[in-house]
């Protein structure tokens, strides 16, 4: 009996050379290409940008002194590198500040005229500063009885004149009450309650009788924390015992910071 020999089956596989090395080779070529791109980019230096960066780093490490900062680009700019563009920005801000000052001055004159027509020209003082136009209603006893938040008849007439002008402007308005340094008495626990109550009564009259939009006006009580003059004389107490109506400027911060200087150089009226 013959035994049939089984045929041997060769395992299947790749019969060519091993090409796994190509993966590492391609990775190396990619890295080399990136390196040459970076080297090329570094070799193409913008001389002006390089000098600006160099000057900025020198200033940042204290090697050069400067009072100017280019905040739009985040670079400290030495004085000798300032160009006409920087001066142009300053001119634009000064022009905007002058316009804002003129607008506030015109508003002040309108309020003065409205008071003068009622024989109340001395009922308020005016200041233009970085906040806007402040109308100080001097001596709160003209507006309120002692230790009271009830508006006096004279106060109603003054506020009617003031409100007839304020109702025509879009600005935000802050009514701020101030008390003198004397200790408050019942029913007010502190001068904060007294000053806040008085400023609230002024606000209510301007809104309810003057027609001012409640969305643009607020009431604040500062107590005796912000006196305009020092001392305990009757004159000093009268000046510190006041209500301020502040027409807030809606200009940019940089523009508003220029207003006090314009007020200082403006002719007195």
Count CB atoms within 10 A of the CB of residue 43: 7
Residue 87: predicted pLDDT: 55
Q: Please report the pLDDT score of residue 44 as a whole number.
A: 61
More confident residue, 129 or 145: 129
Work out the mean pLDDT of the chain and round it to a whole number.
81
Least confident range of 65-79, 81-95, 155-169:
65-79
pTM above 0.85, yes or no: no
Peptide bond into 187 cis (omega under 30): yes
CB–CB of 143/154 below 8 Å? yes
Does residue 80 carry a pLDDT above 60? no
Res 89: pLDDT: 57
Q: What is the rounded distance in angstroms from the CA atom of residue 139 to the CA atom of residue 137?
A: 7
- Asked if the model's pLDDT at residue 45 lies above 70, the reply is no
Q: What is the pLDDT of residues 187-217, one digit of tens each?
A: 999 999 999 999 999 999 999 999 999 999 9
Residue 162 above 50 pLDDT? yes
Could you tell me if 120 and 161 are in contact, meaning their C-beta atoms sit under 8 angstroms apart? yes
CA distances from 118 to 104, 125, 138, 150, 158 (A): 22, 16, 17, 22, 8
Class of domain 87-265: alpha beta
Cα distances from 247 to residues 138, 143, 156, 209, in angstroms, run 17, 20, 19, 18
Q: How high is the pLDDT of residue 121?
A: 85
Domain layout of the chain by residue ranges: 87-265
Residues 68, 82: contact at Cβ < 8 Å? yes
pLDDT cut 70: percent of the chain above it: 73
Contact present, 101 and 262 (Cβ < 8 Å):
yes
Q: What pLDDT, in 10s, does the model give residues 85-110?
A: 445 557 888 899 999 999 999 999 99
Asked whether the beta carbons of 163 and 211 are under 8 A apart, the reply is yes
């Amino acid at each position: 009996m013959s035994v049939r020999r089984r045929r041997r089956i060769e395992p299947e596989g790749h019969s060519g050379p091993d090409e796994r090395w190509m993966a590492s080779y391609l990775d190396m070529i990619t890295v080399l290409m990136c390196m040459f791109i970076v080297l090329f980019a570094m070799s193409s230096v913008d001389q002006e940008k390089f000098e600006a960066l160099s000057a900025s780093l020198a200033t940042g490490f204290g090697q050069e002194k400067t009072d100017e900062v280019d905040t739009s680009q985040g670079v400290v700019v030495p004085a000798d590198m300032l160009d006409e563009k920087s001066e142009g920005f300053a001119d634009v801000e000064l022009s905007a500040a002058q316009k804002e000052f003129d607008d506030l001055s015109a508003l002040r004159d309108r309020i003065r005229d409205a008071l003068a027509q009622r024989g109340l020209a001395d009922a308020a003082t005016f200041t233009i500063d970085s906040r806007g136009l402040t109308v100080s209603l001097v001596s709160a006893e003209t507006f309120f009885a002692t230790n009271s938040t009830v508006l006096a008849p004279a106060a109603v007439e003054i506020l009617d004149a003031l409100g007839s002008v304020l109702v025509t402007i879009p600005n935000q308005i802050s009514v701020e009450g101030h008390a003198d340094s004397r200790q408050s008495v019942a029913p007010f626990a502190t001068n904060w309650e007294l000053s806040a109550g008085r400023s609230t009564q002024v606000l209510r009259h301007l809104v309810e009788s003057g027609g001012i939009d409640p969305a643009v006006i607020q009431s604040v009580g500062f107590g005796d924390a912000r006196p305009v003059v020092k001392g305990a004389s009757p004159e000093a107490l009268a000046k510190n015992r006041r209500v301020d109506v502040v027409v807030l400027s809606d200009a940019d911060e940089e523009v508003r910071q220029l207003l006090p200087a314009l007020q200082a150089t403006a002719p007195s009226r």
